């Protein structure tokens, strides 16, 4: 899969987000996909992702 497609899907959240889980079965919710980075480094800054009841904020 091309990185451009993955970036588009992440930015638009144009996929079924209703039943995302981690590899060990915990609930995963993308609250904010973050701000797209057009330069080198991570593709998005300041994403907000919940794993179970814990909010994780960072770059993806």
Residue 5 has pLDDT above 90, yes or no: yes
Is the sign of the CA dihedral 25, 30, 36, 41 positive or negative?
A: negative
Check whether 46 has a pLDDT greater than 90.
yes
Tell me, what DSSP letter sits at residue 57? E
Q: Write the pLDDT tens digit of every residue in 14-32.
A: 999 899 999 999 999 999 9
* Single pTM value for the model: 0.85
pLDDT over 90 for what percent of the chain?
A: 93
Which contacts of 5-13 are long-range, i.e. CB under 8 A and separated by 24 or more positions? 6/43, 7/36, 7/43, 10/43, 10/44, 10/60, 11/36, 11/44
At residue 1, the pLDDT reads 85
């Amino acid at each position: 899969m091309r990185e451009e497609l993955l970036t588009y899907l992440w930015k638009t959240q144009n996929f079924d987000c209703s039943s995302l889980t981690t590899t060990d079965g915990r609930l995963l919710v993308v609250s904010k996909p973050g701000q797209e980075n057009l330069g080198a480094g991570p593709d998005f800054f300041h994403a907000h992702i919940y794993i179970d009841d814990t909010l994780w904020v960072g770059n993806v």
